[in-house]
Amino acid sequence: MDNRTITFIGGGNMARSLIGGLIADGFRADAIRVSDPSEEQCRSLAQRFGVTTGQDNLAAIEGANAVVLAVKPQVMRQVASELGEGLQRSGAVVISIAAGIREPDLRRWIGAEVPIVRTMPNTPSLVQTGATGLFANNLVSDQQRDLAESLMRAVGLVQWLDTEALLDAVTAVSGSGPAYFFLLMEALEDAGSRVGLPRETARLLVLQTALGAAKMALESEDDPHTLRRRVTSPGGTTERAINTLEDGDLRALIEQAVRAAAERAAELGDELGAQ
Ligand SMILES: NC(=O)C1=CN([C@@H]2O[C@H](COP(=O)(O)OP(=O)(O)OC[C@H]3O[C@@H](n4cnc5c(N)ncnc54)[C@H](O)[C@@H]3O)[C@@H](O)[C@H]2O)C=CC1
Ligand SMILES: O=C(O)[C@@H]1CCC=N1
């Protein structure tokens, strides 16, 4: 992807997923810099992906076209304040991936009217199957919008949002979403093992079934409801299982979980933004 350079401030789980996905898509490793106080993180990223790493955040953003803020929401204020002048000088587009942190707060901490794209990616970006919601402030140029979009598109699906508040819903659905599916995989594997399958066999069957269901739902013209009905023979095995799940009110539980995650995102924004 041309000669644009990108700096990650924070090289943890989500940065690693994005970097891995970008490199798998052909992004040059020497165009990616990572700054993280953890020497262990730096060593591991440099070894695995060949990216440049260091511990000096300000030095790392020099000359970058895009700066991805990939630290925990709780340290965002400190990081943004420390980078303020450097970001103003560089003209880079700031791409925040933090849950909850609102663009006006981030801009206030940076202390300058800088272009910011607030995003919510997810960890399957590592295998280029990510899903990212994006919101741009009105200082982002068309070129910077394209840059942010192309970085996230390189690692999966992108969806622009008209209002920033919707990012809390994206966080609750797809940001945290991989964990819900992993939990379902764990539970199904455990159940498979309890009804007699060797654990390894249960795991392989579960993972392939999850992949198959997602692939089919993506590629089919029919919606998931129709696809589900096709698996469910009247009086058959699936019907009995689905009835058990519906009787246990799985849908209500999922809605409750998604609401809880969205509320937590808003709460993080309130708590940390008040600083
Ligand atoms: N893990 C996930 O699935 C997703 C995470 N996010 C967001 O990504 C951000 C990072 O989350 P994770 O990668 O999971 O956390 P993490 O804890 O794995 O990574 C954070 C990294 O920031 C580094 N760090 C701490 N202080 C720093 C500083 N002053 N300067 C530079 N680096 C510093 C830490 O050493 C650590 O390596 C969070 O804001 C989170 O809300 C967004 C979408 C999904
Ligand atoms: O759990 C979290 O707060 C982050 C944001 C979305 C996924 N992980």
Angle at 124 between CA 123 and CA 128, to 5 degrees: 125
Which protein residue has the closest C-alpha to ligand 2 atom 8? 176
To the question of whether residue 10 is assigned a binding role by annotation, the answer is: yes
Is residue 53 within 8 A of residue 42, CB to CB? The reply is yes
CA distances from 110 to 33, 82, 270 (A): 20, 8, 18
pLDDT at 41 over 90: yes
Q: How far apart are CA 98 and CA 59, in angstroms?
A: 22
* One-letter amino acid for residue 165 of the chain: A
* Alpha carbon of 264 to ligand 2 centroid (Å): 10
Q: Please state the pTM of the whole predicted model.
A: 0.95
* Per-residue pLDDT at 3 exceeds 80: no
Kindly report the backbone phi and psi dihedral angles of residue 42, in degrees, each rounded to the nearest multiple of 5, phi listed first.
-60, -50
Beta strands in the chain (DSSP E): 6-9, 32-35, 52-54, 66-69, 93-96, 116-120, 130-136, 156-160
Amino acid at 96: S
What is the ipTM for the molecules in this complex? 0.99
Is the distance from the beta carbon of residue 106 to the nearest atom of ligand 2 less than 6 Å? no
pLDDT at 129 over 90: yes
110 pLDDT tier (thresholds 50, 70, 90)? very high
Provide the greatest CA pair distance for the chain.
Answer: 68
Q: Whose CA is nearest to atom 1 of ligand 2?
A: 176
Q: How many CB atoms lie within 10 A of CB 67?
A: 27
Of all protein residues, the one whose alpha carbon is nearest to atom 22 of ligand 1 is: 10
Residue nearest to atom 44 of ligand 1 (CA): 122
Which ligand 1 atom minimizes the distance to the CA of 79? Answer: 29
Mean pLDDT of the region 167-188:
98
Strand order in the sheet with 93-96: 52-54, 32-35, 6-9, 66-69, 93-96, 116-120, 130-136, 156-160
Q: Indicate the pLDDT class of residue 274, thresholds 50, 70 and 90.
A: confident
Q: What are phi and psi of 158, to 5 degrees?
A: -125, 145
> To test ligand 2's pocket by mutation, which of 176, 267, 268 has the most ligand atoms within 8 angstroms of CB?
176
Distance 164 CA to ligand 2 centre (A): 17
Write down the residue that tokens 């000096």 correspond to.
Answer: 56
Helix, strand or coil for residue 138?
coil
The predicted structure's pLDDT at residue 275:
82
| CB distance 7 to ligand 2 below 6 Å | no
Chain segment 56-85, per-residue pLDDT in tens: 999 999 999 999 999 999 999 999 999 999
Residue 122 CA: nearest ligand 1 atom is 44
Strand residue runs (E) in 106-146: 116-120, 130-136
Q: How far apart are CA 242 and CA 172, in angstroms?
A: 24
